[in-house]
Structure formats: structure tokens, C-alpha cells
Amino acid sequence: MGKDSTKKSERDIIEYISNLLALQADRDLIKGIGDDCAVFRKDNKSCILVTTDTLVAGVHFDLAWHPPLLLGRKTAAVNLSDIAAMGGKPRYAFLNLAFPGSAPAWLDDFLAGFYEMLQEYDTHLVGGDTVKSPNDLSMSVTLIGEAAEDEICYRSGAEIGDFVFVSGFLGDAAAGLSLCQSGLSAGSSTPWQQLVKAHLDPLPQVKLGRMLADSRLVHAMIDISDGLATDLAHICTQSRTGAEIFKEALPVSETLRAAAEKLKSPIFDWVLKGGEDYKLLFTVSPDHEKDLQRRVAKQSGMEIYPIGRIIEGRGVHLCSRERRQNISYQGYDHFIG
């Protein structure tokens, strides 16, 4: 990769590492790099899922507006969401903390929030690491979960003709971040609470993920952490398919429309490219589209939204009455913005 490394995208760097360090096949390793979790065989029916995610001050959060309790919850939630994306059940967590100076004042609240979120999903903190860092504050979590081998939903299972579904409003978290950055988030009476909460305190859809896996009707699944345009592109690349998304079908909240007006922001940048919604994005055979919608509504009261189709070819295309454009990988990338 040499001198060019700063110009590479996050995806290029991961691919480079994966190619350089690819291991020999391992009897118990079912999925290594390339999905929301690595998957290992536990016994002849069940698998262990492992995921890890890092939050860095100034990149993923800002303590100027992020209450430590909610930051603790979010640190757990973003990892729980990767277990949800495979249809798994979270079990054990490791927490790694790096901060400058001695234990920060907000640590107790952070830990209370972290513990609260783990408890909601019956997950135990079983280890971690605590180190001093010269400048940057960061927290990293490794989460271990489990799932029945024949229920796990990979990014690679999409089939031509599948419907693409999303499990809730898109863009709220990105708008919430913009509102925080613009100083418009303060106070519980602001009209933007739903958006600000989506950024500060996202909820991982673990129960829905389990329900979808248990239905065995889902072909491919991912959680939306980098924006629809990028996360659907991951499904397409791994499944060797393309996808078409219908602009008018995208679930957008009224509050988001109002915020776009207020901030004079292009709403579809938030909806398609804004990350951190932590909704589930999944594909289902057209024979089971209605059946799955009914099942989810009956079992959870939640609505899931069909937003497009899996097609032959490559790339994610956004279709409206006026035009069709390739939006593959236009979501958040750490290295190219």
C-alpha cells in the first residue's frame, strides 16, 4: 500500500489487510473478515459470533453534547447491532478504554449507561483493558454472541429478485448529529428530540434480528452503520448482485423533513449517506414479502419497509421518476469523508 495509503478508502484498507494476512482455511471458522461478525463453529448446531467496534472522541462523539450515560449506552449499542445483523443473541462483552490523564469525571455515568444497555440484552461484561493515551479518548468493545448455524444471516445471501427491506426511518441519526453540531439540540422541548435521540442513544434491533433469523425467510442482512448507499453496496458486493432502490419508498420521518427545511440541508444526503441509523437492512424472496411483513407486525408491532429489489449486475442504483443513478458506497468512509 506504501505511500498512497492516505488516499485509500476504509474499504480498500480492509481489503488490503485481508489479502495480506489471509489465513489458511480453518475447520471451525465459517466466516472471517467481511461480515458484521466473524462466525465460528461451536458444536454441530450452534455458532459463536464475534464483533468489535471502536468509538473515538472527535470522530464518533463529542462530549460537549453527548451525555456520558448515553455515550455508555451507545458504545454497547453499536456492537449489539452487529450481533443483531447476523440474527444472533449477544452473550459476553469486553470493554477497552484509552484516555489521557487519570480516570475522567464522566466515567461513572459512562459505565452506568454501558451496563444498562448490556443488561437490556442479557449480556455480561467479562473483561477488557484500561490504558493511558497521550491525546485521544477512545473506547472499543468486543462482543461475543451465539446463533444456530442454519439461522445466521450473512451479507452474501441476496438473490436476484429479492425485495430489499429496511426496519425503520433512515437519516434521523445523521440529522441529529447536524443539529447537535449547530447548537440546536439543547433542551427537552425542542421539536428535534427524535432526531437528537437517534444520534445520542440509538437502539440496537436485537429482538427484530432474532425474529427475522428465526423466520428463515431472510436471505441477506446487515445493520446500517455507514449509510444505506454503502451498506446495501456491501450486501451487493458480497452477494455478487446489484440493487435498485426506489426514492419514493424510502421511510423518512416528518421530523426529518422539518429539520431539512430548518437547516437547509439536502434530506437525501442524510437518508442515503448518513450513517449510524442502526436499522436492519435485509433481503427476502418476493414469495414471502407480505408474509414477513405480517409476521413482524404481529410479533413485534413494528413496521418493515420494502424499498427496492435485488437485480442482476453490479452497484446500488437510486431510481426516481426522473432518473436512475449509481449511489454505491456513497455513505460514510473514515478516510475519504
Check residue 53 for interaction with ligand ADP (CB under 6 A).
yes
Sole window of 30-38, 56-64, 176-184, 238-246 interacting with ligand ADP (rule: CB under 6 A): 30-38
306 binds, among Mg ion, ligand ADP, none (CB under 5 to 8 A by kind): none
Q: How far is the CB of 235 from Mg ion (least distance, A)?
A: 11
List residues near Mg ion by CB under 5 A. Answer: 36, 82, 223, 225
| Binds ligand ADP (CB under 6 A): choice among 1, 17, 126, 160 | 17
Cell digits of residue 235: 450486501
| Binds ligand ADP (CB under 6 A): choice among 33, 103, 160, 249 | 33
Using CA atoms, how far apart are residues 160 and 25, in angstroms rounded to an integer?
29
Collapsing DSSP to helix, strand or coil, 248 comes out as helix
According to DSSP, the β-strands at 138-148 and 280-284 are: unpaired
Cell digits of residue 328: 454505491
Collapsing DSSP to helix, strand or coil, 217 comes out as coil
Residue with Cβ nearer ligand ADP (46 or 52):
52
Contact 153, 212 (CB under 8 A): yes
Sole window of 33-41, 108-116, 172-180, 314-322 interacting with ligand ADP (rule: CB under 6 A): 33-41
Using CA atoms, how far apart are residues 80 and 88, in angstroms rounded to an integer?
9
Check residue 35 for interaction with ligand ADP (CB under 6 A).
yes
How many residues are present in the chain?
337
Residue with Cβ nearer ligand ADP (20 or 64):
20
According to DSSP, the β-strands at 324-326 and 315-319 are: antiparallel
| Binds ligand ADP (CB under 6 A): choice among 14, 59, 126, 249 | 14
Check residue 36 for interaction with ligand ADP (CB under 6 A).
yes
Q: How far is the CB of 60 from ligand ADP (least distance, A)?
A: 12
Window 57 to 116, contacts with ligand ADP (CB under 6 A): 82
Residue with Cβ nearer ligand ADP (172 or 231):
231
Cell 458444536 belongs to residue: 43
Q: Per DSSP, which regions of 57-121 are E strands?
A: 89-99
Using CA atoms, how far apart are residues 201 and 75, in angstroms rounded to an integer?
9
Which residues on adjacent β-strands are paired with residue 317? 244, 326
Using CA atoms, how far apart are residues 7 and 13, in angstroms rounded to an integer?
10
| Binds ligand ADP (CB under 6 A): choice among 12, 34, 128, 305 | 34
Q: How far is the CB of 172 from ligand ADP (least distance, A)?
A: 18
Q: How far is the CB of 80 from ligand ADP (least distance, A)?
A: 12
Residue with Cβ nearer ligand ADP (141 or 243):
141
Which residues on adjacent β-strands are paired with residue 132? 99
Using CA atoms, how far apart are residues 280 and 260, in angstroms rounded to an integer?
23
Q: Which residues bind ligand ADP (CB under 6 A)?
A: 14, 17, 33-36, 53, 82, 225-226
